[in-house]
Amino acid sequence: MKFLDEAKVHVKAGDGGDGVIAFRREKYIEFGGPDGGNGGKGGDVIIEAVDGLNTLIDYRYAQHFKARKGGNGAGSDRTGAGSDDVIMKVPVGTQILDEDKETLLADLTEVGQRVVIARGGDGGHGNAMFKTSTNRAPRRADKGWPGEERSIWLRLKLIADSGLVGLPNAGKSTFLSVVSAARPKIADYPFTTLHPQLGVVRLQPDGRPTPDGSLEFVLADIPGLIEGAHEGAGLGDRFLGHVERCAVLLHLVDGTAADPARAYRTIRRELAGYGGGLAEKPEVVALNKTDAMTPQATASRLKALSRAAGRPALLVSGATGDGVPAVLKALFDAIQAHRQR
């Protein structure tokens, strides 16, 4: 299924049904009277977060949603039928923005959460509503109220406990495939990952990954960033929104790079340039691909990376699994601290 995290749609709620003018005509009743019924309510347009979806691809091809008009009233004080609501199903984590793409209307973060994004119009009054002691035979009936109409943006921000960030070819996809059942595309060229990937990490208390571990969290891998990403370079920073909700970031740095400290600072500048609180999130820094380095190179580059990060960096190899338990345990401890707060 193609991944789509942003879509623009137009919604139109149903108009209310019209009231009617009618009078009683019954045998043995000398004087009849007005008995025109009210119109029915138009259908609402509702957006609901459901389980089992992870993309907005359905709204790539269907972009207009319109609820039906309420039924008109009838004689004998009969009210018109209310129309059914139109329910749009979206993945958990979807934000609803106004047409200006800045005003947040709703943020659906839980399964079953729903919001009425366009309210149907009320039905018009029939002439029975206008009967008074001085106006026994009113000949007035109102039209139904129009339903709300608007254009909105749907923006998906995946909900994960931890997010993977780093330069292209830092080994993020390999790490995700080792610690979870996710199977992202892995190749030896930059920008292999073109859209975010999610994986559920299950581990034992000591940090070792296991299929039936007692502890678990969700790890998100986003496409690699390059210098100038917040200005549109490479794939830009459009996917950074998927780690905005994360409790902690895992920053993987390629140990085979000539200057891992510079690579670390490049990503930190892009996080700060994007905003959204990413630069202030707790971070676990790991020097990856230790299997491809000599012990001397490992020691010097680890020291340089730790100095740049201002904290001790961890050593890990996604290819061999060395150091993976320590990284997972550090991630889970940070996630647990966030959950307790």
How much is the pTM?
0.75
Same domain? 34 vs 127: yes
Residue 233 has pLDDT above 60, yes or no: no
Q: What is the 8-class DSSP label of residue 263?
A: H
Of 78-82, 122-126, 282-286, the least confident: 282-286
Tell me the binding residues for Mg(2+).
Answer: 173, 193
Same domain? 63 vs 182: no
Domain containing 297 equals 162-340
Same domain? 128 vs 171: no
Residue 1 has pLDDT above 50, yes or no: no
Residue 58 sits in a domain whose CATH number is 2.70.210.12
What's the mean per-residue pLDDT of the chain? 83
Among candidate residues 98, 123, 156, the one where a domain is terminated: 156
Among candidate residues 101, 121, 156, the one where a domain is terminated: 156
286 to 178, 242, 259, 326: CA distances (angstroms): 15, 21, 14, 10
Residue 165 has pLDDT above 60, yes or no: yes
Does residue 314 sit in helix, strand or coil?
strand
d(CA 256, CA 169): 10
Residue 235 has pLDDT above 60, yes or no: no
Q: Which pLDDT does position 226 carry in this prediction?
A: 64
> Sign of torsion, CA 270 276 280 282?
negative
Q: Specify the number of domains making up the chain.
A: 2
Tell me the binding residues.
Answer: 166-173, 191-195, 221-224, 288-291, 317-319
Range of 56-60, 207-211, 233-237 with top mean pLDDT: 56-60
The per-residue pLDDT for range 92-104, each reduced to its tens digit, is 889 999 999 889 9
Contacts of 102 (CB under 8 A, 6+ apart): none
Same domain? 133 vs 219: no
Same domain? 114 vs 2: yes
Same domain? 196 vs 303: yes
Residue 140 has pLDDT above 60, yes or no: yes
Q: Nearest-5° angle of CA 65, CA 19, CA 87?
A: 20
Does residue 205 sit in helix, strand or coil?
coil
Same domain? 295 vs 246: yes
Q: Which pLDDT does position 330 carry in this prediction?
A: 86
Same domain? 99 vs 7: yes
The per-residue pLDDT for range 172-184, each reduced to its tens digit, is 778 888 887 666 5
The per-residue pLDDT for range 27-44, each reduced to its tens digit, is 777 778 899 999 999 999
Same domain? 196 vs 280: yes
Same domain? 186 vs 229: yes
Contact (Cβ atoms closer than 8 angstroms) between residue 92 and residue 49: yes
Among candidate residues 111, 132, 156, the one where a domain is terminated: 156
The per-residue pLDDT for range 283-333, each reduced to its tens digit, is 888 888 888 888 888 888 889 888 888 888 888 887 888 888 888 888 888
Residue 280 has pLDDT above 60, yes or no: yes
Residue 237 sits in a domain whose CATH number is 3.40.50.300
Tell me the binding residues for GTP.
Answer: 166-173, 191-195, 221-224, 288-291, 317-319
- CA 331 to mean position of chain CA atoms: 23
332 token code pair: 């889970």
Same domain? 111 vs 57: yes
Same domain? 319 vs 202: yes
For 254, list phi and psi in degrees, rounded to 5. Answer: -70, 115
